[in-house]
Amino acid sequence: MSAITHRGRRPGRRPRRSWVPLMLSVAVCLSAVTLAGPAQAVPANDTIVDSTRRGGNTVALTFDDGPNPADTPRLLEVLRQHRVKAVFCLWGDYVLAHPDIVRAIAADGHVLCNHSMHHDDMASWEPERVRADLLQTSAAIRRAVPGARIPYFRAPYGSWGQSGTVAADLGMQPLGWRLAVADWEPTPADELVRRILEGVTPGAVVLLHDGGGDRSPTVDAVERIIPDLRSRGWRFDLPARRG
């Protein structure tokens, strides 16, 4: 007859343990990571950033409302030729429509920014509604670029309401601008060049657009102002990571 220990167990056999609590804990953790995305290197706060990291004669180029298959690829080519990194503030609907362009933006080493899902004015929105929109947009971006860092959020129309605080809670620094040249209106490239060169100030974040309409004049202007500014001693930087 086999030897039986007390409580009826055979020698050397460990009692069975339920893995259900452990699996539930892991599932909760994975769910939280999926919603929030990868941890950002620097914590965010709700101050709206409008300056570069280094200050001085530096400028940061930021582009809203893409990706846009008509103009974003050529803009990427211009930035690549001049070895300039920029911030692309992505409109969620267009991210879903053109994920290949989002991947091209990321592959070139540019910085991704959440610009909301449908480009709605969020000024009067409750925090829960803002949060749902920002999470949906970030999920769309990460569907195109798995594991992508999204360190910034820019409110559509610069109409912030409570969106800056919600974005900071999600690890995204609110991103503003110091110079806007109104390229969302039909404007010749010559005029855009003039507005940028005359309006830029040390450490400025510049608001431009690669989507939302015909942005070929903007791309033409960017191609011209980069070498011009460099010849005047300016350097290209990224926005500050924290206000």
Identify the DSSP state of 213. Answer: S
| Cα–Cα distance, 180 to 52 (Å, whole number) | 15
User: What is the pLDDT, as a whole number, of residue 231?
Assistant: 98
Beta strands in the chain (DSSP E): 58-66, 87-90, 111-114, 152-153, 173-174, 179-180, 204-209, 235-236
| Cα–Cα distance, 45 to 35 (Å, whole number) | 19
Cis amide bond preceding 69, omega within 30: no
Per-residue HEC secondary structure of 217-229 comes to HHHHHHHHHHHHH
User: What is the pLDDT, as a whole number, of residue 184?
Assistant: 96
Residues 6+ apart with CB under 8 A from 103: 144, 145
* pTM of the model as a whole: 0.84
| Per-residue pLDDT tens over the stretch 12-45 | 444 444 443 444 343 433 433 444 455 455 689 9
Which residues are designated catalytic?
64, 209
| Per-residue pLDDT tens over the stretch 175-194 | 999 999 999 999 999 999 99
- The helices-and-strands tally (H runs, E runs) of the chain is 8, 8
User: What is the pLDDT, as a whole number, of residue 98?
Assistant: 98
User: What is the pLDDT, as a whole number, of residue 43?
Assistant: 85
Identify the DSSP state of 11. Answer: T
Q: Select from 210, 199, 239 the least CA-distant residue to 72.
A: 210
User: What is the pLDDT, as a whole number, of residue 243?
Assistant: 80
User: What is the pLDDT, as a whole number, of residue 211?
Assistant: 98
User: What is the pLDDT, as a whole number, of residue 166?
Assistant: 98
Question: With 70 as the cut, is the pLDDT of residue 114 above it?
Answer: yes
Q: Select from 110, 80, 78 the least CA-distant residue to 222.
A: 78
User: What is the pLDDT, as a whole number, of residue 154?
Assistant: 98
User: What is the pLDDT, as a whole number, of residue 12?
Assistant: 42
Q: Select from 171, 162, 222 the least CA-distant residue to 197.
A: 222
Q: Where are the domains of the chain?
A: 58-236
| Cα–Cα distance, 164 to 173 (Å, whole number) | 8
User: What is the pLDDT, as a whole number, of residue 6?
Assistant: 35
As a whole-number percent, the residues of the chain with pLDDT over 70 amount to: 83
Helix spans in 114-173 (H): 127-144, 163-169
Q: Select from 164, 48, 45, 40 the least CA-distant residue to 111.
A: 40
Decide: 230 and 200 in contact? Cβ < 8 Å: no
User: What is the pLDDT, as a whole number, of residue 42?
Assistant: 66
Tell me the pLDDT of the chain averaged across its residues: 88
CATH number of 58-236: 3.20.20.370
| Cα–Cα distance, 56 to 54 (Å, whole number) | 7
For residue 230, what are its two tokens? 């460099």
| Per-residue pLDDT tens over the stretch 124-168 | 999 999 999 999 999 999 999 999 999 999 999 999 999 999 999
